[in-house]
Amino acid sequence: MNQQNYIFRLATINDALSIAKLQIERLREVNSPENLEVVYVNIEIERRTLKITNEIEKHVSFFLIEYNALIIGYSQIVNKVERNSLEAELFSIYLLPKFRNNGKGKLLLNKTFEYLVEMGTKTLQVSFFKEFLYKEFFINQKAQLLRQQEVTIGKELGIYETYCWFDLQKIHNEYERTFS
């Protein structure tokens, strides 16, 4: 896969349907079929596309990776305040399975860091349950544990963790030196 065939860019409203399809793929990947039926009954593509369109209009950023004009992944970023926020949250990141394990996920994350640095953001947080399947990806990308809290979902007690990159500029610069 030639590096020149990859494009990184911010999503527009016209990308909402493609992002919705990727989100559904992500949900299918991390949930058992029974959970999908119970938890994600209303996963219709039209509703999800409309929701994403509304989020883009309200300045939720989706940063995309394309390969040969096909959107193959995204990161979804929510700034705590509009422009020049010191803090943002990585709400989700996803890359189609056949494009993983060759550095494209790291590259997408670093391009997300680059975009946030350009917007004046200093820190980025990501939260998930302690048992999250891809937790090691974030730890390997130098995210540091910020806090843990117990949460109850239904009758189940779980540990919810928040990780943080405290200096996006520094991490982005290190990545650029290592992989350029």
Write the Ramachandran bin of 53: left for phi over 0, alpha for psi from -120 to 50, otherwise beta.
alpha
Q: Which domain holds residue 38?
A: 3-179
Contacts of 93 (CB under 8 A, 6+ apart): 73, 74, 75, 76, 105, 108, 109, 112
Q: What is the pLDDT of residue 1?
A: 46
Question: What does pLDDT average to in each consecutive run of 10 residues of the chain (180 residues)?
Answer: 76 94 80 54 73 88 92 89 72 92 91 91 91 90 94 82 94 81
Q: What is the pLDDT of residue 83?
A: 54
For 126-141, write each residue's pLDDT tens digit. Answer: 999 888 888 999 999 9
Q: What is the pLDDT of residue 4?
A: 63
Residue closest to 66 by CA, chosen among 13, 137, 113, 1:
1
Question: Which tokens belong to 52?
Answer: 């994403």
CATH number of the domain at 24, please: 3.40.630.30
Length of the chain: 180
Q: What is the pLDDT of residue 153?
A: 74
Domain count for the chain, please give it: 1
Contacts of 44 (CB under 8 A, 6+ apart): none
Cα distance between residue 117 and residue 123, in whole Å: 9
Q: What is the pLDDT of residue 72?
A: 95
Local structure of 164: helix, strand or coil: strand
